[in-house]
């Protein structure tokens, strides 16, 4: 296998790398989905004047953003078993990456909410809407249009950071590439293909985000 010409070699490894790429995408979608759910509530808490909401959300954001994702992965996968909590690798990766993404998405939502004119909240409250109703029906729909580009960037960044999940034995794209390299010793070809596959995934995502941004700006 190590002496094969490049294109036959490429055909032999693409199915394996394709499975790894699918695992990468699946891991990223679930993790960022969790991050968005956390980010919505975290963003609302971050702009709240209630210290019961503001203080914990601020601590969460600062701690998670101030520590590396790799340490968080190790803490969930290797640290929790000492407390009697044993998680499979995929579940541990999703939890760690989701919590990590949530901190960044929280700040994205905070910035989007604060970019909406304060008078809109006051007008909604004067019409009889509660704070949460005003957030749900007035503020968040407008904020979402403004946070779409950074939210898309967060998805792309998390997709690339998902390569760290290879350290806890998840067969995502980078780990599959490293395993093929260890068997064939053709690191340049394999890693080049891995990099191109990451590009093939992230480039369409960037174009989709730009297209959605243009469509939403037209609808304003």
Average pLDDT along the chain: 89
The C-alpha torsion from 24 through 30 and 52 to 55, rounded to 10°, is: 10
* Global pTM value: 0.88
Q: Is 115 helix (H, G, I), strand (E, B) or coil?
A: coil
Confidence of residue 142 (pLDDT cuts 50, 70, 90): confident
Rounded to an integer, what distance in angstroms lies between the CA atom of residue 103 and that of residue 42? 8
Complete domains list, the chain, with CATH: 23-172 (1.10.3720.10)
What mean pLDDT is predicted for residues 63-70? 96
Rounded to an integer, what distance in angstroms lies between the CA atom of residue 65 and that of residue 79? 19
């Amino acid at each position: 296998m190590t002496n094969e010409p490049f294109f036959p070699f490429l055909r032999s490894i693409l199915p394996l790398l394709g499975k790894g790429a699918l695992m990468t995408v699946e891991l990223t979608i679930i993790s960022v989905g969790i991050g968005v759910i956390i980010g919505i509530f975290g963003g609302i808490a971050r702009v709240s004047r209630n210290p019961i909401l503001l203080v914990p959300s601020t601590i969460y954001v600062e701690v998670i953003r101030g520590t590396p994702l790799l340490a968080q992965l190790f803490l969930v996968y290797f640290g929790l078993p000492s407390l009697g909590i044993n998680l499979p690798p995929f579940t541990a990766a999703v939890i760690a990456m989701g919590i990590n993404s949530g901190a960044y998405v929280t700040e994205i939502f905070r910035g989007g909410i604060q970019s909406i004119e304060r008078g809109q909240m006051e007008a909604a409250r004067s019409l009889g809407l509660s704070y949460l109703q005003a957030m749900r029906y007035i503020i968040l729909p407008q904020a979402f249009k403004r946070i779409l580009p950074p939210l898309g960037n967060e998805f792309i960044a998390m997709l690339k950071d998902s390569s760290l999940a290879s350290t806890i034995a998840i067969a995502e794209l980078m780990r599959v590439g490293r395993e093929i390299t260890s068997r064939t010793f053709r690191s340049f070809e394999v890693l080049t293909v891995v990099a191109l596959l990451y590009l093939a995934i992230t480039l369409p995502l960037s174009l989709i985000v730009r297209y959605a941004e243009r469509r939403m700006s037209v609808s304003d």
